[in-house]
């Protein structure tokens, strides 16, 4: 069973969840740890000879040191690149938080030091007419790593996301500042504001990377606080 489990959430679509998740996995790999990355729900998958495949899920599969089959990494693969509940409806499927959590629990039974579950979009992404994807980390009782896409408006997005996470009864284990907009005005001032408002560890600042990679992100991160915490 995995010793440390975390759910990786973003402040918005394209906040950089996958990039940061692969970077955290790589940072832990460098310490000789056994790591697993999951993307339980992925919308925007390409048809291949092996079935539907999602680029983000493939990156997580590659970055992890424990090599799981694709269906374990991404058990719910949807073709349309739209919100999961819409993509599921188009595919004639119904999504359920209980079912997705059960699929995650199966992968969580593998022996690992660190297991990361990447969400989809922001915190409040619908699965169906009554459930949000945020229900899955609630059911799994996993602390949350919040990836903040550093751009105009990020403070509002970050604070609202954090409020919702805490209201859902979950702990924010740390956050990452990911500079998605290289031309962001007053970057340092925005970062300072976030540091003052978030009483949780800043795992690192990721600059805008010309050639994004797990290795480049890992160079910017300190994951010690994630590994020092008690099992979750």
User: What is the per-residue DSSP string for 59-127?
Assistant: HHHHH-SS---HHHH-SEEESSSS-HHHHHHHTT----HHHHHHHHHHHHTS--SEEEEE-SSSS--BS
Active-site residue (options: 3, 17, 34, 39)? 39
Spell out the residues 6+ positions from residue 78 whose beta carbon is closer than 8 angstroms to its own: 41, 42, 43, 44, 45, 52, 84, 87, 88, 90, 91, 93
Tokens of 105: 């629990």
Which own/partner pairs from 156-160 qualify as long-range (CB within 8 Å, at least 24 positions apart)? 157/11, 157/12, 157/122, 158/11, 158/194, 158/197, 158/198, 159/197
| 67 catalytic per annotation | no
Active site residue ranges: 39
């Amino acid at each position: 069973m995995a010793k440390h489990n975390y759910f990786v959430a973003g402040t918005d679509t394209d906040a950089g969840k996958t990039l940061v998740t692969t970077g955290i996995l790589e940072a832990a790999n460098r310490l000789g740890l056994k790591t697993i990355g999951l993307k339980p729900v992925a919308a925007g998958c390409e048809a291949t000879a092996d079935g539907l495949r999602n680029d983000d899920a493939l990156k997580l599969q590659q970055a992890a040191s424990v090599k799981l089959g694709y269906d374990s990494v991404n058990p719910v693969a949807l073709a349309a690149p739209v919100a999961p509940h819409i993509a599921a409806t188009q595919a004639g499927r119904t999504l359920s938080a209980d079912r997705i959590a059960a699929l995650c629990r199966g992968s969580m039974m593998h022996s690992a030091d660190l297991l990361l579950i990447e969400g989809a979009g922001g915190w409040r992404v619908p699965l169906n007419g009554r459930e949000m994807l945020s229900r899955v980390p609630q059911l799994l009782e996993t602390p949350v790593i919040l990836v903040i896409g550093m751009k105009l408006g990020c403070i509002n997005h970050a604070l609202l996301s954090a409020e919702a996470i805490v209201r859902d009864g979950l702990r924010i284990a740390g956050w990452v500042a990911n500079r998605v907009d290289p031309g962001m005005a007053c970057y340092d001032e925005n970062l300072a504001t976030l540091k003052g408002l978030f009483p949780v560890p800043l795992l690192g600042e990721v600059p805008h990377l010309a050639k994004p990679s797990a290795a480049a992100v890992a160079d910017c991160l300190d994951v010690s606080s994630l590994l020092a915490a008690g099992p979750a």
